[in-house]
Amino acid sequence: MAERDLAKVAAVVGVGHSDWIGDHARVRAGGKPHDSNGYGAVAFREALADAGIDRSEIDGLIVGPTTSYERIGELLGLNVRWGGQADAMLGIIEACMAIRSGLAEVVALVYGNDQRSAAISYGGAEAMGGNMFLSYVYHAPWGFTSQGALYAMMFRRYMELEGLTEAELGEVAVAQRLAASKNPNALMRKPITVEDYLNSAYICEPLHLFDYCLINDGGVALIVAEAGRAKRMSARSVPIHGVGRSDLNAGATSLEPRLFDYYRPAQQQAAEQVFAMAGAGPSEMSALQVYDSFSCHIPLALEGYGYCRTGEAGRFMREHGISLAKGLPVNTSGGHLSESYMQGWNHQVEAVRQMRGECGARQVPDCRFVHYSSDVAGKAVSIIYGK
């Protein structure tokens, strides 16, 4: 394929999610509103209504790795001609590829997660069920199974080499809480200051409480359609202008790609792909959405994707800014730190709503492109949404 073959072949026509605030309140009260499949079904209903189409138009289905492909299809009453299981980022790319190749025309992407009510463990001997595909679990014999500990070790090295301060890292949590304060769907809406951040407890030094993502139940769904059909379906469709991906697998189980290169080579290669496909560069992006299981993803993405030079992320965040009030708006919904931890799925919804101009008090003016970045486990994935 030529590098532009996936540019604008598909567009998002519908987005939806469960009531994260209501879900959280019911779980805290001791209830369990849904299992993962149920949360996904709720989100699908919302996305279908948002798209204004009947489910009979859907001929492709991708479900999140926390749900069952067959069970979701059964619950939603979908008999599709193409489908599978993927995370949000790869799901978008796979939907574009399926549409480009003629395997499907209208693809539903459905995710649900009961991680809070099911007490899913993201650390310890049974982290994620002892799932060995996650590289950090290989270190279980030494007690090193916490993702927070992994990122703390990685970012401590970065701070020592590049001089980034804790106060500068605190700009991430402060900016995203400001965004969440303007988002009625966000779980954590009380603004914080850098001083609040510095006074908060360490969870794994140098990472503070506010550097960690939330853990909550919920569901998200998107509907992606072939570009021409999307225009006929909805005047609010949002084209996918570019995608990119690059993986760092060599040395992965020793954590080498994280500890030594901070995923930068993969990010740079994904950046080259996605910006070339979209025909636009970092300076033309109106907003940036970054997978933020921990706050340190943001400074590394700023450097890896060329928003600032290597080693200058701290100064960029402090001087240029990454908030709705100043500079490059990053994670304009509040992200995983303050809106909802939906494993990258909520970032796609936010990107679409920003492009539609539907974000109210947190809307980025004259939004032309929204760039999404993920570097989970050394897999750098990038998506650009545009007009």
> How much is the pLDDT for 1?
45
d(CA 69, CA 63): 6
What the block records as the tokens of 103 is 């395997």
The DSSP result for 195-260, as a single string, is HHHHHSPEEETTEEGGGBPP---EEEEEEEEEHHHHHHH-TT-EEEEEEEEEE--TTGGGTHHHHH
Decide if pLDDT at 292 tops 60.
Answer: yes
User: What are the backbone dihedrals phi and psi of residue 10, each rounded to the nearest 5 degrees, phi first?
Assistant: -145, 160
Other C-beta atoms lying within 10 Å of the C-beta of residue 38: 18
Tell me which of 132-146, 150-164, 318-332 is least confident: 132-146
d(CA 188, CA 208): 16
Percent helix, strand, coil in the chain (nearest 5)? 45, 20, 35
**In this structure, what is the dihedral angle of CA atoms 355, 360, 362, 367, given to the nearest 10 degrees?**
30
Superfamily covering domain 10-119+213-386: Thiolase/Chalcone synthase (3.40.47.10)
Instruction: Quick: pLDDT tens for 35-69.
Output: 999 999 999 999 999 999 999 999 999 999 999 99
The DSSP result for 258-269, as a single string, is HHHHTTHHHHHH
Contact 40, 50 (CB under 8 A): no
Q: How confident is the model at residue 252 (pLDDT cuts 50, 70, 90)?
A: confident
Contact 113, 64 (CB under 8 A): yes
Q: What is the torsional sign of CA 191, 197, 201, 207? A: positive
Q: In terms of DSSP bridges, do strands 379-386 and 369-374 run parallel, antiparallel, or are they unpaired?
A: antiparallel
The sheet with strand 238-247 has its strands ordered as 82-85, 60-63, 106-113, 218-226, 10-17, 238-247, 379-386, 369-374, 287-290
- Quick check: pTM over 0.85? yes
Decide if pLDDT at 258 tops 90.
Answer: no
Instruction: Quick: pLDDT tens for 297-336.
Output: 999 999 999 999 999 999 999 999 999 999 999 999 999 9
Decide if pLDDT at 246 tops 50.
Answer: yes
What does the mean pLDDT of the chain come to? Answer: 94
> How much is the pLDDT for 135?
60
Q: How confident is the model at residue 5 (pLDDT cuts 50, 70, 90)?
A: confident
Map out the domains of the chain as residue ranges.
10-119+213-386
Nearest in space to 240 (alpha carbons), one of 372, 332, 113, 131:
372
